[in-house]
Amino acid sequence: MHANVGDTLKQHGRVVGQHDRDAQIVEVMGQSGEPPYRVRYEDGHECVLSPGPDSVVVHKPGL
């Protein structure tokens, strides 16, 4: 997985009825765009995470 600041991390729901969650990547803490990432959710909550197989990076247009 490779990401840049400003990309979106989309986490797919893990169980039936759970919605996808989107978070903006605000800091890339690994080398060469690798996890872990500091992300900010729409409600303002921030956390550091290493995404699992249920997540994808949506790159910012133009990159």
Q: What is the pLDDT of residues 10-27, one digit of tens each?
A: 999 878 888 899 999 999
State how many domains the chain has: 1
Answer yes or no: are the C-beta atoms of 11 and 23 closer than 8 Å: yes
* pLDDT for 63 beyond 70: no
| Domain assignment of residue 62, yes or no | no
User: Do 28 and 3 contact (CB within 8 A), yes or no?
Assistant: yes
pTM of the model: 0.86
List the domain range (segments joined by +) for residue 28: 8-54
pLDDT tens track for 45-60? 999 999 999 999 999 9
Give domain status of residue 3, yes or no.
Answer: no
Tokens 């690798």: give the residue.
34
Among candidate residues 11, 1, 4, the one with its CA nearest the CA of residue 63: 4
